[in-house]
Amino acid sequence: MRYIQRLPKPEVLEKNAAQWTADFLAVRTANPNKKRPDNSKYAHKEIKNYLAGMSSKKCFYCERPIVESEYEIDHFIEAVERPDLAFDWENLYLSCKNCNREKIPNTKLPNIETLNPCSNKHLHNEHLAFDDEQIRSRDGSQLFPFGR
């Protein structure tokens, strides 16, 4: 996993994120079983294109090249945990289907203990090692990489 510099917020989020968030929070209040936001909004084509440009069309987590038809948008902090971040630009990531659907649930490994690809708070090479395209945590690392 390498550091990825986040681009400025896409126009569609500048214009709509506050209203989309308010609408989603209202729906959740009326129906607590409604856990996920409308993905046609956070997975808008403009958002996908920005995220793809940031990552060179690679999954933010495993860095596998992905084609546009396989782009999925992941929430670094799940909308179930923080519905107020469902449309937050800093919380959206381009993911391959495997990483988005097969990752360790946040309840087993809190996000606070994972490396954020868009944060330069920690030097990724201090915590990650690569063995024949396998990513693993370095011995003694206090942070666990995604997918541990």
Q: Which residues, 6 or more positions from 79, have their beta carbon under 8 angstroms from its beta carbon? A: 24, 35, 36, 37, 85, 86
The reply to whether CATH 3.30.70 applies to domain 11-108 is no
Tens-digit pLDDT string for the chain (148 aa): 567 888 999 999 999 999 999 999 999 999 988 889 999 999 999 999 999 999 999 988 788 899 988 889 999 888 888 999 999 999 999 998 888 876 555 545 555 556 677 766 655 566 666 666 565 666 666 554 443 3
Neighbours of 26 (CB within 10 A): 10
* Cβ–Cβ < 8 Å for 92, 75: yes
* Residue 57 to residue 31: CA distance in whole angstroms: 36
Measured CA distances, 23 to 13, 17, 37, 41 (Å): 14, 10, 9, 12
Q: Could you give the residue ranges of the DSSP H alpha helices within the chain?
A: 11-30, 39-42, 45-54, 97-102, 124-127
Closest CA to 52 of 109, 10, 19: 10
Question: Residue with structure tokens 């809190």?
Answer: 110
SS3 of residue 110 by DSSP: coil
Q: What pLDDT does residue 88 have?
A: 96
